[in-house]
Amino acid sequence: MRVLAAMSGGVDSAVAAARAVDAGHDVVGVHLALSRMPGTLRTGSRGCCTIEDSMDAQRAANIIGIPYYVWDFSERFKLDVVDDFIAEYSAGRTPNPCMRCNEKIKFAALLEKALDLGFDAVVTGHYATILTDADGYRELHRASAWAKDQSYVLGVLTSEQLAHAMFPLGATPSKAEVRAEAAERGFSVANKPDSHDICFIPDGDTRGWLAERVGAETGDILDREGTRLGSHEGAHAFTVGQRKGLNIGFPSDDGKPRFVLEVRPKDNTVVVGPKEALDIAEIAGSRFTWAGRAPEHADEAFACEVQIRAHADPVPAVAVVRPSEDGAAELVITPGMPLNGVAPGQTAVVYVGTRVLGQTTIDRTVSAVPVG
């Protein structure tokens, strides 16, 4: 096949591109420029998509012997990922920009352009596996190495996108093996640290970054019964589960610490309460998709597992699609044990065995501890 290898400048995407060539595909490498003002150098493992990263990708492509290009996706990235991140926080939700980037950039904008140019598939260095069922439908599954499995952040992929995706690292037992292979191939990125944190906030100061773009407006901090406990200087600076920085100034009646339970942007208030109130008995979202073939009877409750963070353990659950109060269909997930510290805006990925069945952006949660 004629395939486009997305090369981030890291070790995983370099080895994935090389393996695609070894498999006999006609491969072209491309690095996505996602910022008009990228930092010239990375700081350790913070950030990505810098000028240094594009140069690392270029060197790997030269060694592999494939054509290499840099494509400017900065405007699309700003609209679909950065602006969405700001809007979600402004609405009191906790977004996952990596999910949005996979959904809107790597497997929407990039894939769309690749198909327009005559490519058959996009290759990335994600640790996940694509299998084909007995009827010829492609399914997304966990990687063989669960410690490195990245199927969670790919849960947003649709059936059409899976049909044009390739993940050559999915069956690799460990990241150490990938690094060793990179060293054997002569890649300078063999020991390059993995990137972490939000790529467009490389210093990790999300609160400060948001304050510059959203602004700060004083509001009330309330308990679950609506009693005013103090004030804050901007609701966007708080996330569900947060304990530090509340500045309430006096202990609760039981002397236990309080945690952020809810952020209400409409009236600019933050609700706090005991740690046990962070336990969630139900989550639901109307923005759900299926990764491959949808369940035949999704309106009938079915057993599954749910994962709410990239590195969280999956939890047994029951899921069903049913109408919400406003009439829209929503995916409702009831975990077998309470989930802790779940916030609207997060992504819940549903698994059946190793298969990613689908995902939803969480719109609402139901606490396992009733008020009062």
Tell me the one-letter amino acid at 139. Answer: E
CA distance 59 to 139: 33
Angle at Cα 58 formed by Cα 55 and Cα 61, nearest 5°?
Answer: 155
Q: Which residues contact 37 (CB under 8 A, 6 or more apart)?
A: none
Query: Are 191 and 179 within 8 A, CB to CB?
Result: yes
> What residue type is assigned to position 24 of the chain?
G
- Among 48, 49, 98, 101, the one annotated catalytic: 101
- A 10 A CB-CB count for 14 gives 31
Q: Are 164 and 170 in contact (CB under 8 A)?
A: no
| Tokens at 153, concatenated | 């952040």
**Angle 131-137-141 (CA atoms, 0-180°, nearest 5)?**
30
**DSSP tag of 187:** -
Q: List the catalytic residue out of 48, 49, 98, 199.
A: 199
Beta-strand ranges (E) seen in 150-227 are 165-166, 219-222
**How many residues appear in the chain?**
372
Could you confirm whether 49 is annotated as catalytic?
A: no
CA triplet 188, 194, 200: central angle to 5 degrees?
110
Distant-in-sequence, close-in-space partners of 82: CB < 8 Å, separation ≥ 6: 97, 200
* Residue 101 among the catalytic residues: yes
- Token output for 341: 């510290």
Catalytic residue set: 101, 199
